[in-house]
Chain A
Amino acid sequence: MSWLVAAPILVPLSTAALCALAWRSIPAQRGISLAGAVALLLCAIGLLAQVAGGVQVMQMGGWKAPFGITLVADTLTAIMVLVTAIMAVAVAAYSLGDIDPVRERNGFHPVFHALLVGVGGAFVTGDLFNMYVWFEAMLISSFVLLALGGTKEQLDGAIKYAALNLIATAALLLAVVLLYGLTGTLNMAELARLVPQVQNQGTVTTVAVLFIIAFGMKAAVFPLFFWLPASYHTPAVAVQAIFAGLLTKVGVYALLRTFTLIFVGDTGWTHGGILLWIAGFTLVAGALGSLATKDLRKALSWQVVAHIGYMVMGLALYTPLAIAGVVFYLVHDIVVKTNLFLGAGVARRLSGSSRYEGMGGLFRSAPILALVMFVPLGSLAGFPPLSGFWSKLVLVQAGLAAQSWWIVAAALVTALLTMMLAGRIWAEVVWKAHPAGDLAGLGGFSPGRRVALVAPLVALSLVTVTIGVWPEPVMDLAGRAALGLLDPAPYIEAVLGAPAPQPTMVGELPVTPAAPGQGGAP
């Protein structure tokens, strides 16, 4: 047991509490916010080091699973927490230069950390109902962050975001309780043991599809993504960046966790059927959407949707290589998307618009910035030495190995369309002369603001380049995470202890004590 397992919840929660206590002093809140993010990063590094020695579990308050609340961290969790922490530091630093005083007075800093509590909680929880609760904690913070500032555009986006996410919430809760009704437990490790023993496996598949709908809505997959392009471009830049980087990926993480641990009884239908189709449509729809708009922020929002498709595709292929590819892609995508939105924010500040016709001249006025922005843009498109190339390569390889030709075709077409978009953004925002003549460039900002705005961009670009030129360590970690997902026995044992089959009520029919893996339909 390690206390670091609770850190992804405790550290941001304490930070949020301290920020709320320091309500009157904005400078104090800024300091606390940045310090809290750095503390989270240190804890995340410690957690990653610890999970190398095995799955870490904490039974809250000493109440043993499956009766108490369990926090679990395996390699995947630790990777996700680490990436989240890096984003937290980058965005907390950026927000010092970007968030206006009104938003700060209305509580940007505490709510930002409350959002991180939800994200961290969803990553470390070992209980399905708790996952629902963390999703809601995340949702309510995201409502506040989205509406903070209260411009018409924001209210419009927030209403659509709220309406669709409220329905997703109801679907998620329904899915969770139906599974509880079938098995009598909510602990994910115990669910992994009990679900194969349910008499009527058809009901399990039905519940699985409900989970795809619920988590899919949170992850913004094909027919359920419309809330995302309607709202993601409206709030403050720092908020856009953390939303684009993290929120949908938590949905992907939840899909990844449940569809490798619990719903693996009918993979031909759930993975090879529904998820694969969803992935293909998400890829193409997102890429086309991003080309159809002439607003930089909206194009990037659509790209968030498109790249969710790659991750769902890896999960749908359900081979060790593909799952490792998903984990790699998660790491790459979170860094790149956050970086892109932050960069778009600076570009908008410099050129005074986020529509292509009002932008341009970056190469001339801020050449260093343009060069730094090339990294995430090229990585998004998948140019060879950058992280996007390797992550796409792994997934395409996995697709070819699984002989799913058409999903590979969809992935490659999307990559091509993304490359077109990257070229377009480069031409419209960076190369083209600004319609109003020369821009002031970064020299127009005060020194403090310049550092706060540009340092996160440089740092995240360095991360992308490092992953690109030296992908082995990340791929190695992703491979370990994939192995942990595909062979959940150590996870289950770490949570529940050594397998000791107990007589349980399953589907209202008593099941005689059976060795694990032996039960199920006759």
Chain B
Amino acid sequence: MHSLILRTGTRLLLALMVLFSLFILWRGHNEPGGGFIGGLIAAVAYSLVALSFGVAEMRRMLPADPKTILGAGLALAIVSGLFAVVGQGGLLADPYMASRWYISYTETGEKGFAIGTPVLFDIGVYLVVIGGILAMVRGLMEEL
């Protein structure tokens, strides 16, 4: 599609939308948001590129093939659950997907920064959604 407005707009929007999708991904940790919706936003951003500049350009802008992104996300999501292998009760004592946390405490003993395996799972979902949708978009656009 050769639309100057769409092309110019896409250039502006792409970075903004990808950044926003990362923000949504991070925000999903404790508030509405998360990997799924974030992944959708990023996928829409890249689909916009595919619409205005073509599929080849979209693939060039992506760090890897959509199918590889999908596989990596799936692997990450699986691995995030495997942290539960080592539990307090010993090996394999906790169920799969039991979360593991790192929490930093301030000098006064207050809870500070906390990060855990659910984030990893969410990032996996984010990648699966991007990979899956872009693989689908590419297939469709090459087909139609």
Contact = CB atoms under 8 A, between A and B. Distances in A.
Q: Within the complex, are A and B direct neighbours (CB within 8 Å)?
A: yes
A62 B71 contact: no
A37 B68 CA distance: 21
B9 interface: no
Contacts of A1: 95
A4 B85 CA distance: 12
A23 B92 contact: no
B71 A17 contact: yes
B65 interface: yes
Interface stretch (A6-14, A250-258, A467-475): A6-14
Given A20-B68, A21-B68, A23-B67, A60 B75 contact: no
Nearest to B87: A62
Interface string B28-51: 000000000000000000000000
Nearest to B69: A20
B72 interface: yes
A69 to B, nearest CB: 9
A17 B67 contact: no
Nearest to B67: A23
Contact of B78 (A3, A17, A23, A107): A17
A110 B92 CA distance: 28
A19 B71 CA distance: 8
Given A13-B74, A18-B75, A21-B72, A60 B67 contact: no
Given A10-B78, A13-B78, A14-B78, A21 B71 contact: yes
Contacts of B70: 20
B92 A3 contact: yes
Contacts of B92: 3
B110 to A, nearest CB: 26
A53 interface: no
A58 interface: yes
Given A20-B68, A21-B68, A23-B67, A6 B75 contact: no
B96 A61 contact: yes
Nearest to B71: A20
Interface string A106-119: 01001000000000
A60 B96 contact: yes
B71 A18 contact: yes
B97 interface: yes
Contacts of B72: 21
Interface of A is mostly: helix
A27 B72 CA distance: 19
A61 B68 contact: no
Question: DSSP majority for the B interface?
Answer: helix
A14 B76 CA distance: 10
Contacts of B85: 3
B67 A20 contact: yes
A344 B103 CA distance: 60
Interface string A39-78: 0000000000000000000111110000000000000000
Given A23-B65, A107-B67, A16 B98 contact: no
A14 B96 contact: no
Interface residues of B, number: 19
Contact of B97 (A14, A18, A60): A60
Contacts of B74: 13, 16-17, 20
Contacts of A59: 95
A6 B75 CA distance: 16
Contacts of B84: 61
Contacts of A18: 71, 75
B134 to A, nearest CB: 13
Contacts of B65: 23
Nearest to A60: B97
Given A13-B78, A17-B75, A21-B72, A3 B67 contact: no
Contact of A62 (B67, B68, B78, B94): B94
A61 B98 contact: yes
A59 B98 CA distance: 9
Interface string B63-105: 0010110111011001001001100000010111111000000
Contacts of B67: 20, 23, 107
A438 to B, nearest CB: 44
Interface in A173-207: none
A62 B75 contact: no
A478 to B, nearest CB: 29
A38 B92 CA distance: 22
A107 B67 CA distance: 10
Contacts of B97: 60-62
Interface of A: 1, 3, 6, 10, 13-14, 16-21, 23, 58-62, 107, 110
27 contacts: A1-B95, A3-B85, A6-B95, A6-B96, A10-B78, A10-B96, A13-B74, A13-B78, A16-B74, A17-B71, A18-B75, A19-B71, A20-B68, A20-B70, A20-B74, A21-B75, A23-B71, A58-B95, A59-B95, A60-B95, A60-B97, A61-B81, A61-B95, A61-B96, A61-B97, A61-B98, A107-B67
Nearest 6 Cβ contacts at the A-B interface: A20-B71, A17-B74, A61-B97, A21-B71, A17-B75, A62-B98
